[in-house]
Chains A and B, each alone.
Chain A
Amino acid sequence: MDYLTQQLINGLSIGATYALIALGYTMVYGVLRLINFAHGEVYMMGAVVAYWIAIGIAPWGWPVWGALAVIFGGAMGACAVLGFAIEFFAYRPLRNKPRLVVLITAIGVSLLLQNLAQTRYVFGPTPEAFPAVIEAKTVVRWTMGGPDNVVTVSNLDLLSLGLSLGLMGVLAWVVLRTRQGLALRAVSYRFDTSSLMGINTNRTISFTFMLGSALAAVAGVVDAIRYDVRPLMGLMPGLKAFVAAVLGGIGSIPGAFVGGLVIGLIETLVKGYLSSAYSDAVAFVVLIVILLVRPSGILGRYEAEKL
């Protein structure tokens, strides 16, 4: 029981970062019908920027909260700019091209960021531990029945879950209550007519990329602190978050959030009860099963072709 509880906590903690990445996938898919392959690399760049900042501010000995605020804020801002640039330079010129051309471009951007990060001018090929801004420590400790049956929750788990829940709330507010959010929903619903109704589609798309990228950056920083920073760290979380978005029904914002948590849970349970070797593949098994049972995802709309 306690083992299971521990796995569930770990799963939610990991799932929270998937959820943050998945939100970006789903929003971008909503407005552009594009699987933004480079999104995992935006997450990675979030980690890299956070690493730079953490190294930079280390000598000043700031209090933890101040340091974290600067690190998260800096990474979010930098990634928002990066997301804007990716869309502006790589995807916007292809607005009326077949979707696969854009998809291949996205793969190209993803490769470019991975390889740029591997140069020593950006980060370098080897993994680096994140500077000790915040130490991992157990903040909750339940003893269940005996000294061996302990369930722990670390401050990083709380950080991860708290941030993703908080940001989900902020996102819900932005999407449901602001003008830009309204435009985003309109563009997702009907791309072609929304521009007729006076919505600046290009601006809305840029906004969507910036928003999604900032969220991915947060996930990147959390994972950087939790594990380490490496140039290829975006690959797997990126793909899994995509699966999460599909699971939740691509285009659906709450769906992506729930999907992320579910993928995190499934992955941790597989790791805990079967073998960690299967933890990566399980996301893809889930993906293929959903696509076969319901190609448009669980909450996705099915767009029938009229002849």
Chain B
Amino acid sequence: MALLEISNLTVQFGGLRALSGFDFELDEGQLHGLIGPNGAGKTTAFNVATGVYQPTMGDVRLAGESVVGARPFEINRLGIARTFQNTRLFSGLTVLENVLVGFNQSVTHGFWGTILRTPHHQREDRMHEHEAMRLLERFGLANRSEELAQNLPYGDQRRLEIARALATRPRILLLDEPAAGMNPQEKIALMDLIRFIRDEFSIGIWLIEHDMKLVMAICERITVLDHGETIAVGTAAEVQADPKVIEAYLGEPVG
């Protein structure tokens, strides 16, 4: 039994079938890519896995338990964290605060502890802050910890979003086009960062990405979607050689 199991997932928006009969498995330590032309249904798969959308049919199980019907915050607490295709940082909060929000659910002191500023509360807040700074250091953002998230350059915003998701201590991390808008150097650094995250935190990573070179280079397995249908699953080499994939990408640049 894999950690994340999606079976026969179908999502219908009115007359549009955004995803049909989608199957997927992911385990800790794995890096699985999801590619496909625009509108193929990739983000929709993420949205269902994180409880933003409800599936028309099919199931999503985390460690054997179905999470269909659970609300997004509950799914996050169960261990799935994500980033968004169009970054959704807390733009008016500082970089550090963005990450601290991720620690919110680890806070054990309650309402009165907060109001009375008990020693326990203070210790805990300080500890979380320390951890948040360590996380930011790894992402090369520590020196900007006091800046507002909205003032960061685009690449930094994307990385901050990943750091923030990691702060919730997920078992599975969903990255929706993390390299979008990055320059080539940033992309290379991002590849290293993603591998590092997988090894260091030993979590499963599910990656949507348009940059073929990046996907092919770091993902062990790749699923290809087109018009909601899964047209290929396999290693980078297998997928690249698949005639259906080549056809789906005709007219779109491959890599």
Contact = CB atoms under 8 A, between A and B. Distances in A.
A and B form one complex: yes
Interface of A: 307
B228 to A, nearest CB: 16
Contacts of B43: 307
A218 B224 CA distance: 62
B164 to A, nearest CB: 16
B54 interface: no
B76 to A, nearest CB: 15
Interface of B: 43, 47, 52, 84-86
Contacts of A307: 43, 47, 52, 84-86
A307 B47 CA distance: 8
Nearest to B52: A307
B131 to A, nearest CB: 28
In the A-B complex, the 3 residue pairs with the closest CB atoms: A307-B47, A307-B84, A307-B52
Nearest to B47: A307
Nearest to A306: B43
Nearest to A304: B13
B130 to A, nearest CB: 32
6 contacts: A307-B43, A307-B47, A307-B52, A307-B84, A307-B85, A307-B86
A305 to B, nearest CB: 10
Nearest to B13: A304
A90 to B, nearest CB: 25
Contacts of B86: 307
A307 B18 CA distance: 14
A95 to B, nearest CB: 20
A307 B83 CA distance: 11
A252 to B, nearest CB: 21
Contacts of B84: 307
A69 to B, nearest CB: 51
A307 B43 CA distance: 8
A141 to B, nearest CB: 55
A304 to B, nearest CB: 9
Nearest to A305: B52
A307 B52 CA distance: 9
Contacts of B85: 307
Nearest to B82: A307
Nearest to B43: A307
A307 B49 CA distance: 13
A195 to B, nearest CB: 22
A307 B176 CA distance: 10
B198 to A, nearest CB: 24
A307 B44 CA distance: 9
Contacts of B52: 307
Nearest to B50: A307
A307 B53 CA distance: 10
A268 B18 CA distance: 49
B26 to A, nearest CB: 20
A155 B80 CA distance: 68
A156 B13 CA distance: 51
Contacts of B47: 307
A307 B86 CA distance: 7
B88 to A, nearest CB: 8
A307 B84 CA distance: 7
Nearest to B53: A307
A86 B33 CA distance: 54
A307 B208 CA distance: 14
A65 B52 CA distance: 61
A307 B48 CA distance: 11
A292 B35 CA distance: 40
